[in-house]
Structure 1
């Protein structure tokens, strides 16, 4: 027994034993670490809904990429090509934002979370504003000049919004993207109220134009009207939630969180269905029409009834 104690007391044996113990703890702790990554902060269902929805949409874009690239190259639409590229970039940013939800509640990760949230939300806002700029330009929008106007105005507005949020975050230390049931940051909720109020007003204006004598100036597609109605309702609901939360209502904070989940989970698929899916479908119909005309000219459909 004494000999065994002497062997265990040697430095090399103690180090090996400590390493084995640490390895065992690491393996045993890997499960709780993964579980905390999924359940930390807002809970399992909140994080799972965001991750699953954003991941499925990125996988769908990848699945459709082989068919989308040839259509975009042959369509010669600068706006569609640029918008499709922006959609890919923002979708990957949004997926990263959904995957790293645990950073919001992890000490030492505040800066990384704020930077990721700032660029993700700015990218999604750029898609919103550019689509609105496209709507206000009317039915016939194409070419390099139209793309320059659309993205120029959108980039300017989103750039100003990004600078304002950066000042709030890094200048005044206001936690814009760290959501907790804390109503002491009145400036934070005041900024979000103004942000949602502007978006609600713009979408409301588009809805008004669709139901007025200026309707002919907007693209004559029902998908755009449905998109506008959905975004008006979502922003109006978020505006109401921000107002309640800023006045200390717990239900308002829950409602605000629900609108954030809906926005990050479903907005990018909505953009795709509204703005890009019709373009790809129309290309298919156009090609089918061309093939039909060529076959008809070649006499494939001539029938001798005699």
Structure 2
């Protein structure tokens, strides 16, 4: 534990908040050094700007493909991806608000809607792929978004109650005073997510894998998300027990999530749709299914 404490206190790692880390010296001064630190903020902002710039660069071709293929799910999902990407960009650029007096409410609202939007994309992706790789039609869209909306609505309501009803600082971290009840809530939240991804990962490695989409990219996505949520769960558990290293580790997982989740989502779910022609796309999926062993029984 001594080694972990030394790592957490190292000047070369991402900074953590304290009551004295207010964003003084103007916006630039607070953004660079007074809140999370230059490295933390730079990684977040650069990653989010690059991804939004890529979406903008590909927008004309993407809209043309969506118009030609008329997939309701893809049109809606692409629109939500743009909305959440812009919210995430704002969240990444306004990190100084977390430790600026008087900005607590607006920071909580921004974080609440940003994280809820990203969670909505997570839930929707799993629901989409369980209905088939590119299921289309108003019925499939309605069913998927209804399930996702109910889950996210409940999650958002509970977080809002804890934030504004009970005053639990869910989105403001404090290194000098660890709020154990808050971190206990995050343990439950991360445990649920890790459990869902773990269940899907187990299904892939069991006799029930035929019920899942035959796309290796999807399983790689599940593996990455299981690892990230498992690490985040471990960090929350450490922090809830008073270990400052856990707070540092949670900061690392948060940076990874906000910087790289949306690009991972795009590569997993949307990239093939926008870049491949219909026939080539079918050949790609057939090859992936064959490599995954889904046709082995036909040759026996």
1:125 matched to which residue of 2? 119
1:42 matched to which residue of 2? 36
**How far 1:281 sits from its partner (Å)?**
2.3
Paired with 2:134 and 2:105, the residues of 1 have a C-alpha distance of: 43
1:143 matched to which residue of 2? 137
The answer as to 2:262 corresponding to 1:268 is: yes
Paired with 1:240 and 1:53, the residues of 2 have a C-alpha distance of: 25
Paired with 1:135 and 1:274, the residues of 2 have a C-alpha distance of: 11
Aligned partner of 2:60 among 51, 57, 66: 66
Give the 5 Å matches for 1:203-242: 203-242=197-236
Paired with 1:83 and 1:40, the residues of 2 have a C-alpha distance of: 37
Name the CA shift for 1:59/1:285 in 2 (closer, same or farther; >3 Å). farther
| Structure 2 unpaired stretches of 5+ | 1-23, 284-300
Could you tell me whether the CA contact under 8 Å between 1:183 and 1:245 is conserved in 2?
no
CA RMSD of aligned residues (A): 1.9
The count of aligned residue pairs is 259
**How far 1:35 sits from its partner (Å)?**
2.7
Report which structure shows greater RCO (CA 8 Å, sep ≥6).
2
1:113 matched to which residue of 2? 107
Give the 5 Å matches for 1:185-200: 185-200=179-194
Paired with 1:238 and 1:45, the residues of 2 have a C-alpha distance of: 20
**How far 1:233 sits from its partner (Å)?**
0.2
**CA offsets per residue over residues 72-121 of structure 1, 9 Å max, x none?**
11111111110000000000000000010000000000011000000000
Could you tell me whether the CA contact under 8 Å between 1:183 and 1:248 is conserved in 2?
no
1:278 matched to which residue of 2? 272
Kindly indicate which of the two structures has a greater share of residues assigned to helix.
Answer: 1
Could you tell me whether the CA contact under 8 Å between 2:31 and 2:41 is conserved in 1?
no
**How far 1:61 sits from its partner (Å)?**
0.2
**CA offsets per residue over residues 223-278 of structure 1, 9 Å max, x none?**
10000000000000000000000001111111000000000000000000000001
**CA offsets per residue over residues 113-165 of structure 1, 9 Å max, x none?**
00000000000000001111123334563211111111110000000000000
Paired with 1:141 and 1:78, the residues of 2 have a C-alpha distance of: 9
Could you tell me whether the CA contact under 8 Å between 1:72 and 1:80 is conserved in 2?
yes
Paired with 1:37 and 1:284, the residues of 2 have a C-alpha distance of: 46
Paired with 2:177 and 2:279, the residues of 1 have a C-alpha distance of: 54
Give the 5 Å matches for 1:5-84: 33-84=27-78
Task: Calculate the TM-score normalised by the size of structure 2.
Answer: 0.83
Aligned partner of 2:250 among 253, 256, 263: 256
**How far 1:284 sits from its partner (Å)?**
6.7
Paired with 1:94 and 1:139, the residues of 2 have a C-alpha distance of: 26
